Amino acid sequence: MKNLIDRWRSLEPYLRSLLRIVSAFMFMLHGTMKLFAFPAGMGNGIHFNLASQMGLAGVLEAIGGGLILIGLFTRPVAFVLSGEMAVAFFQVHFPRSFWPTMSGGELAIAYCFLWLYYSASGPGPWSIDTILNRRVD
Residue 102: the pLDDT is 97
Q: Contact 86/70 with Cβ under 8 angstroms?
A: no
The 10 Å Cβ neighbour count of residue 61 is: 25
pLDDT-based confidence at residue 48 (cuts at 50, 70, 90): confident
Portion of the chain with pLDDT greater than 90, in percent: 79
Torsion of CA 46, 51, 54, 59, to 10 degrees: 100
- Cα distance between residue 124 and residue 119, in whole Å: 11
What's phi and psi for 101, nearest 5 deg?
A: -70, -25
45: confidence class by pLDDT, cuts 50, 70, 90: low
Q: pTM of the prediction?
A: 0.90
Question: For position 137, what pLDDT does the model report?
Answer: 35
Looking at residue 136, its pLDDT comes to 44
